[in-house]
Structure 1
Amino acid sequence: MTVITRPSLHLLLALAAPLALSCLDVAEGRARRDLEVGQGAAGQARVVVDEGLAAIRRIAPGEISLWASAPALSIRLTDPAGGPWTVTIENLLPDAELSARVGDERVPVELVEAPFPTQRTFRLSVPPGAEVVLSLRPPDAARIEPWRFAVYADVQEDIDRVQDIYAKMNETEGIRFALISGDLTARGSPEQLERFQREMKTLAFPCYATLGNHELGTRDDLYHEWFGRGNFRFVFRGVQFTMLDSASATLDPLVYEWLPGWLAEGQDLLHVVTMHLAPLDPVGTRNGAFASRAEANKLLTLLAGGRVDLTFYGHIHSFYAFENAGIPAYISGGGGAIPERLDGIGRHFVTVDVEPPGTVAQVAVVRVD
């Protein structure tokens, strides 16, 4: 493990450029699709995941399967006919527990199977016509003490070797979960998204993601079906995590409507913001950043005014430590995609040690090769 304390500034050509903007609000469809995530129906039964923090991967009468985007979930389930339901949740913390209530009355929940560390299937009986509120919650969700998470990005076409990274993550002590800041796949096809989720099953902890420009290579609506929202936030152990969709080298205007409220919520917490393309490229010769410098300035002004503590990016296939608008910033794009030459970094991820409510103790590079 190598601790990085100053930026590496190598003047190299860009390996890839952001997608060209074909219209004014190129990310509008994805932002509006965020609002639909976590809502589903089967017959007259209805399921709503609060804040859209899970994708509904499958719903049928008496059965639902979710992909979680956060450690804690609140799920509302209504079935006029009532009866037995199975609830499968993937990408959860291994020690998270599911409970259920109708009003003040507890509804028994049975654990049926746990085939992988981050996957559980539960069974419960839903009273006819009643709204059952299910709560997925790990035991340390509100604990305020030091802890660690990991960040990585840009696996892309190197999915065949991603298990090297996951094995190293599993060996690294204390990681509670990981964030991936985009470019999970080479082209975002259904087969590639499905495989990425399948490969993640070897991890001992969940990974919460936002998308990158490579997820737009097939259709820009597929990512939401597999992973859920591109723009969202959650709080865990005194830290707010805000994930933003900058895959089109911009944020949609709708996201700018949400962002002030999210920043206000995070002002009294340690606040981490993650997205794929950085607003400004720390090496200005390659333009691996937002399409508009004016928008980059707008966003960084908002983040600085909201007292964001830490930012993470991907897209550039190396490691950089720098500052934007006075906020510590890191690019970790070492998931396996074609690397920057001569940077001496190679495949890697970073670990982040935090001490809530306000201290980032260490950001460290963990080399895989």
Structure 2
Amino acid sequence: MLPLRIELKNKIPKGGSVNIKTFCFSKRDLSNLFRCFYFVISSGINLVKGINILKGFLRNRKYNNILNNIFQYIAIGNSLSESMKLTGCFPDFVIELIKIGENTGKLEEIFLELSSYYEEEYNFEAKLKEAIYYPIFLLSTSFVAFLIISKQVIPKFFVLFRELNIKELPQITKYAIYFNKIFYYFILGFIFMILAFFVLSIVRNKRIKMFYHRIMLSVPLYKDIKTNLEISRFTKCLALILESGGSIIEALESSKKLIGNLIMYEDVEGAINDIKLGKSISEAFNISRTFPLFFIELISVGEETGELEDSLKNISNFLNAEILKRLKSLVNIINPIIIIIISVHVGFLVLSIMLPMFELLNNFNL
């Protein structure tokens, strides 16, 4: 999510800053906004006039706030890329691309590419959410159901058994009583673990963040999905900047800021330093701890054939498909396992309650 600034001083010096509040753009919002910029520029309309037209056309406070800021920045002499940078709501690689577009006269194509980029990102994230929503819903509802049963239902039966003076309970019922006693400790432990991971994920201390990111990359399933996701976004952004005419160093410097894992981020920084010293891209990434071998090999092929941008796009497309395939396979495995666990648990609870009842009825019949 990206911040949108909505307060502007009356006069802002060129290259200056502004005291502002923040707002958020979704990827779909960015796609729509960049497509609107593409239509304005491709129509040959003056940029300042075009922004005013967009404000009237979009009729959306979220868009109009940013367009109004950009309009005022341009009006006092800033370029479009400088104006968008001053708003603080666009990532560095977007600013870099727009700056390249201004210098090369390809601004129209840049906005179209950015719109497509964010549309693809939005669609990909929607597929990811679709793949994990059902198991999360199933787990959540099951957890709540177990909590209610353990808190409200089971204790009442146990009290009933004591009142009826049942001397010897079946072994399965004893297990149920014991499980019910320790169930809250499991809940507290689970909540503590979630809170611990949340705190570690938002802490600003670099050493602690490095420790947390290193741990997360050691989790087998998470490691594969997270690494593929980071590399996919990194290579897609890299290809976009290179295709627009940016240098490899500029592209790497901008693209690395999309990487959320500090271990991978440091690997990219190390590769950038090696490239500055004269190494090729594939050689620079060859000593990486987190970038896989196939990534390095495809980069090497792209360098040799002069089609590096195509290689980067192929890497991104392949990894996106691989992430979705793995998630769907995982969901297909998890769903029946969850259902089996729920069925076994419900059966266990039913037996633990019904067996003492049957025994009580048999005693009455005698």
Calculate the TM-score normalised by the size of structure 2: 0.23
Output the TM-score relative to the length of structure 1.
Answer: 0.23
Larger Rg: 1 or 2? 2
